[in-house]
Amino acid sequence: MYAERVSRLPGAVVWTNTPGAPGVGRVLPDGCMDLLWNEGRLLVAGPDTRAYVTGGEPTAWAGVRFYPGTGSGFLGVPASEVLDRRVDLADLWPASEVRRLRGRIEGAADPVSALEDVALECAADGEPPDPLLRRVVDALDSGRGVAATADELGLGARQLHRRCLTAFGYGPKALARILRLQRALALARDGVPFVDTAVRAGFADQAHLARDVKELAGMPLGELLGRRGG
């Protein structure tokens, strides 16, 4: 069972997931990085360019999902270095520090809240979010093109690309595509017909929506949502 709530860290989400039975899970790209807790392990989930498929015996997971563009500064690792990866935090931080944090979470009455406390401390000790990155997300998520976004922010195209690689793991064009996918999924989950979802999310047509969903999520939209048609 999956559940989430708003974090005390602005823009972040705290989530838990305990699958009820063995099977395949699918984490869709969303432009975010997560700090994960799973059976005594602390990990970092890098940004995904395609659906991340999980499987095997069900185990309990918890995570703090950072707002797009903030996780790299909080965790002290460029997003591009953990792109499409799940990495043990001990591979990124001093092992002694990670052991201390693991012990703290394991000994807590509420490990999920303890994990959130760790994320809050990461944010307090790490680099503060660059407000320009929030503007990048807002502009691209509104459907603005990459060139128009760069002009609006007073950046050259190469500058924008470099900053996006560090913060998001990929360039602004890929980020815009992923944000568009998330807009479409939100509309379709609310019951908006697929043809209208395509138009409202910024796709050229329903066929364009279908191609992007299949490529980024790994399955057709109807199958992904557990229903047919549009």
Mean pLDDT, residues 16-25: 79
Tokens of 175: 């980020």
* Percentage, residues of the chain above pLDDT 70: 97
Residue 24: pLDDT band (50, 70, 90) is: confident
Judge contact between 176 and 146, C-beta under 8 A: yes
Give me the pLDDT at residue 16, please. 97
> What's the CATH number for 131-225?
1.10.10.60
pLDDT tens per residue, range 183-218:
999 999 999 999 999 999 999 999 999 999 999 999
pLDDT value at position 58? 77
pLDDT at 230 over 60: no
Among the ranges given (79-93, 130-144, 150-164, 215-229), the one the predictor scored with the smallest mean pLDDT? 215-229
Query: If phi over 0 gives left and psi between -120 and 50 gives alpha, with beta otherwise, what is residue 123?
Result: alpha
Residue type, 177: R
Between CA 167 and CA 86 the distance in angstroms is 17
pLDDT at position 39 is 93
Q: What type of residue is 3? A: A
Residue 80 has pLDDT above 80, yes or no: yes
Mean pLDDT, range 35-62, rounded to an integer: 92
Q: pLDDT category, 57, cuts 50, 70, 90? A: confident
**Is pLDDT above 50 for 229?**
no
Which of 49-58, 124-133, 179-188 is most confident? 179-188
Give this prediction's pTM.
0.92
67-78 pLDDT tens trace: 999 999 999 999
The two structure tokens encoding residue 230? 């549009």
CATH 1.10.10.60 in the chain is located at 131-225
pLDDT of residue 155: 94
Least confident of 46-60, 69-83, 140-154: 46-60
